A and B are shown apart, each in its own frame.
Chain A
């Protein structure tokens, strides 16, 4: 079966969609590819062996951009395990002093494992996050050990639960109101294999019920994210002979409402070397913004960025399938 699938841009044209940038609300900065884990689905190909790190000069330049552009209200720090960048604490502290909303894509286990290259302990993280009122966003592929460990490695589920309890002890994840501390802990679900995510709302209810009743763990919201058919996950699909079938599923599940909500319309992604991209996935595919748009943080120009043409590829179907997918979860109410 060698069916030609329409390109993402052809699909947009078919639906009369023109996905121009809407603004830059979020600066998403990938500070390292080093990670204490090596997950099956990881689009970054992060692992304990990676060495790429954002330098202090680039971090400082990101802070300058945040300071100069009031429209950018959010800093989203990702990796790898971003806490393994030597300037991570400095970056968070300085961005908070600028009054920016700081989100950290925290894999939970780094608190327990520490730095795989230096052995440095990261046990201070829950308290550090709470002190700086960081929004913690953590991957937990399932509320049971089997799926979680299958995707993220043996022992990850138990360590994740331990780490979630430490965050709860700091006040994270409690519901708003009298008992709430205003410390947000959101979990991220992505399918363990070649299938689309379950509906976000019903899965969130299930996660909350199971995690609280079995482990006494609470959190705020669950974000469902579709696995992107790139890098490690793509290789997995090819190994299973399922790449074409998965792509066909994504194309058939194309949802114009989800396409309109794609995150690249409201964020800019920064690589560890300071290069700019439309999103973290384009970053991993080396789809660097053109020089006219401002190719690196050192040429950052918001007006130019707002007039850029977003670079699309076949992987973009992943963000526009079903209820949609973004770093903040589903982007549309309903699948078509």
Chain B
């Protein structure tokens, strides 16, 4: 028994069991954003979602958006590059806080 079971994703709709009108608004919004080509293609949106899924480390989303990417014609090169974008953003966000460290060092006369 794991906390995350891939088949549980099929039960996502259960969130609408209580306060269903809120879930409905969410799923309508979700489908409007991801379900069709807009200014971005579905393929591009799937790659963005895959990157976000990795940054947020959501196993459900990684599973679902790997399929979404494939079913929109993306390939492992593109998908891996999207994951690198997520990784490099995370790394950049960590490193750029080095400026805060420098501020603190300067404040203490240590730099």
User: Which listed segment binds B: A18-26, A59-67, A163-171, A196-204?
Assistant: A196-204
Number of interface residues of B (CB under 8 A): 13
User: Which listed segment binds B: A127-135, A139-147, A278-286?
Assistant: A139-147
The CA of A146 and the CA of B80, in the complex, are separated in Å by: 14
Contact residues of A: prevailing secondary structure: loop
Most A Cβ at <10 Å: residue of B7, B71, B73 = B73
B72 at the interface (CB under 8 A from A): yes
Task: Report the minimal beta-carbon distance from A318 to chain B, rounded to whole angstroms.
Answer: 15
- B72→A146 contact, CB < 8 A: no
- B41→A198 contact, CB < 8 A: no
- B43→A202 contact, CB < 8 A: yes
- A142→B71 contact, CB < 8 A: no
Please indicate the chain B residues that have their CB under 8 angstroms from the CB of A197 in the complex: 71
Q: Which residue of A lies closest to B72 (CB)?
A: A198
- B73→A146 contact, CB < 8 A: no
- B7→A1 contact, CB < 8 A: yes
Residues A202 and B75 in contact in the complex (CB < 8 Å), given A1-B7, A195-B67: no
Please indicate the chain A residues that have their CB under 8 angstroms from the CB of B38 in the complex: none
Task: Report the minimal beta-carbon distance from B97 to chain A, rounded to whole angstroms.
Answer: 37
Interface size class of A (residues with CB under 8 A): 10 to 19
Contact with B76, one of A146, A195, A202, A203 (Cβ below 8 angstroms)? A146
Please indicate the chain B residues that have their CB under 8 angstroms from the CB of A147 in the complex: 75-76
- List the interface of chain B (C-beta within 8 A of A): 7, 37, 41-43, 67, 70-73, 75-77
Q: Which 10 A-B pairs have the closest CB atoms?
A: A198-B73, A203-B73, A195-B70, A198-B72, A196-B71, A195-B71, A195-B67, A206-B73, A198-B71, A144-B75
- List the interface of chain A (C-beta within 8 A of B): 1, 142, 144, 146-147, 191, 193, 195-199, 202-203, 206
Of the A-B pairs whose beta carbons lie under 8 Å apart in the complex, a sample of 10, sorted by A's number, is A1-B7, A144-B77, A146-B76, A193-B70, A195-B67, A195-B71, A198-B70, A198-B73, A199-B73, A206-B73
